[in-house]
Chain A
Amino acid sequence: QKEVEQDPGPLSVPEGAIVSLNCTYSNSAFQYFMWYRQYSRKGPELLMYTYSSGNKEDGRFTAQVDKSSKYISLFIRDSQPSDSATYLCAMSPDPGGYQKVTFGTGTKLQVIP
């Protein structure tokens, strides 16, 4: 079993829809939770991060962590065609020396105009 599981999609939604992207994990040591966005033929870029459980909002994006269920989500409100990309979840234990980051396989999202 992989440490981090993520549905690869593809997920296709109409413009303006609310998008929900999810990951599950098995390692209870993970404390930092991140979402990276990767456009086609580009490297991933950090979109959001949260520490431990709870919600974090940034514009149209909300990241949610439920450590009791080992489940994290990224919600995108009022989705736009420019949101079309692959979204990778990533997780890491508490900092202390080098932090190894474990990535999900990514979910490909397409927002149809």
Chain B
Amino acid sequence: DVKVTQSSRYLVKRTGEKVFLECVQDMDHENMFWYRQDPGLGLRLIYFSYDVKMKEKGDIPEGYSVSREKKERFSLILESASTNQTSMYLCASSLGSGSYEQYFGPGTRLTVT
């Protein structure tokens, strides 16, 4: 059974803080993704990684960066949190090239005040 875990379920941060969201998968998947989910906008891809130390921008990368130093771990960094980054953040992984099925973590509800 694939398991994707995220470091926090709920997080409250202040404007301007640096925020780290961590994601770990236990199935040796090549690809990992970060999405945010907002009402009426659905899931939007922030960044993804198809290999260790590799990263690609998704649809909305502004204000975010990522780090993948180990295959199983993919971190999302908010360099200077802003109120418009209040959202549900979902991490996902998939097996590798040509694999369409993504396995999601439970999500982190981030509130920036």
Interface of A toward B, CB cutoff 8 Å: 6, 8, 32, 34, 41-46, 49, 88, 92, 95-101, 103-106
Contact = CB atoms under 8 A, between A and B. Distances in A.
A97 to B, nearest CB: 6
Nearest to B33: A101
Given A88-B43, A98-B31, A32 B105 contact: no
Contact of A46 (B43, B58, B101): B101
A45 B103 CA distance: 7
Between A32, A97, A99, the greatest number of chain B beta carbons within 10 A of the residue's beta carbon is seen for A99
Given A43-B107, A46-B102, 9 more contacts: A41-B106, A43-B104, A44-B90, A46-B101, A46-B103, A49-B100, A98-B31, A99-B99, A105-B42
Given A98-B31, A103-B43, A44 B100 contact: no
B48 interface: yes
A43 B106 contact: yes
A97 B102 CA distance: 15
A43 B99 contact: no
Interface of A (DSSP majority class): loop
Nearest to B107: A43
Nearest to B30: A98
B41 to A, nearest CB: 7
Interface string B48-88: 10100000101000000000000000000000000000000
Given A95-B98, A98-B50, A98-B97, A44 B104 contact: yes
B45 interface: yes
Contacts of B48: 98
